[in-house]
Amino acid sequence: MTKNLTTSTNKNIENIAKRIANESPQLRDLSNEQLDIISKLVITQRLTNEMNDKVNIANIDYNVEKNIFIMSAGKTGSGDTKLAYRNALRELEKFTEKNNINILLMNYKEADDFIYSIPGSPNSKRLIIAAISSFYSYLERRYSSIKNPIRGTKARPIGKAVKKLEIPDEADMAIILNELPDLERMAVYIMAYRGLRVGALNKLKIWGTSYQSYSKGKEIYGEFSNDILFNIKSSNFLDKSPFSEYSTNAIKLRIYRQTMKLFNRGRIKSAYSAHDFRHYFAISEYKNDKDIYKLSKLLDHSNIAITETYLKGLKIAI
């Protein structure tokens, strides 16, 4: 009996297939029996595909893939880039663990919910979203059963209060450079009067008046003014690589703590971050001669458009 039913079903399927191939009918042209057969076929195929995907994903070692991704992520190979990817994946792991979600099976709704939940400033949120999307794209290229649930999303993180932009003025700079310890003072001086990123300081090497370092994964080089060289040589640190013993995060933290102390004592108007001193350089340099091409080179931007966006973010009219 079962054999006869199977044979009958197969013949029906074959007849439907021939009709579709020859006549291209609309669904309304098919009988209820034919529609029932098609719906069962579609559901069966979908469940089969889903089961195959789950079996394939079950064989993927997330931690292995994560480590490969982090070690090879970013064309620049920058240590800061790798740290950013690692921190982004940590946020994703916290969210999926809390909501009992398999990272490798995350769907579009879950991805949107994750984006809405991301903490931090607008820039840090954008960085996390970009990093997570890159991770899923990496997996997608390696495993056909995985799709990037971040791609195409319209979700945006919930807005939170953003720290007011604070740029030190000349009076604050004078106090900061007079009262900060040697290490922090040197770092601030180089960022405020040469515009180097804080991430370039621990790789900084100095020969005579020339310097060489790495920033955003690429080599940078240039000349230091006599004032900068005097500040470095008058300190108790190594002349050629004064920040080599400190990580980027350690330098950032030390600067912020020292400016916070001055702020709490009422000596300066704000507790400044390391980035605020590079902002100070950009504003001072641009106001000096309005030469955006020169400023773009000094800031080691890859093109003028980046410099224009940077200045607009600092509320500077171009």
Give the mean pLDDT of 26-36. 67
Give the mean pLDDT of 68-96. 81
Q: Are residue 181 and residue 300 in the same domain, yes or no?
A: yes
Question: Could you give the number of structural domains in the chain?
Answer: 3
Q: Are residue 34 and residue 90 in the same domain, yes or no?
A: no
Q: Are residue 104 and residue 18 in the same domain, yes or no?
A: no
CA gap 206, 212 in Å, rounded: 7
Q: Are residue 32 and residue 123 in the same domain, yes or no?
A: no
Residue 2 has pLDDT above 50, yes or no: no
| Token digits of residue 221 | 């080089």
Helices (H) and strands (E) in the chain, counts: 13, 3
Confidence of residue 78 (pLDDT cuts 50, 70, 90): low
pLDDT value, residue 19: 59
pLDDT value, residue 75: 53
CA gap 207, 153 in Å, rounded: 49
pLDDT value, residue 242: 85
What's 250's domain CATH number?
A: 1.10.443.10
| pTM for the predicted model, two decimal places | 0.55
Collapse the DSSP code of 317 into the 3-class scheme (helix H, G, I; strand E, B; otherwise coil) and give the result. Answer: coil
| Token digits of residue 189 | 């001086």
280 vs 127, more confident: 280
Is residue 45 assigned to a domain? Answer: yes
pLDDT value, residue 80: 72
Q: Are residue 237 and residue 109 in the same domain, yes or no?
A: no
For residue range 121-176, list pLDDT tens digits in order: 777 788 899 999 999 999 999 888 888 999 988 888 876 555 677 899 999 999 99
pLDDT value, residue 236: 63
For residue range 192-207, list pLDDT tens digits in order: 999 999 999 999 998 8
Give the mean pLDDT of 241-257. 91
- Domain extent, residue 132, equals 69-142
Q: Are residue 178 and residue 298 in the same domain, yes or no?
A: yes
Give the Cβ contact number of residue 282 at 10 Å. 22
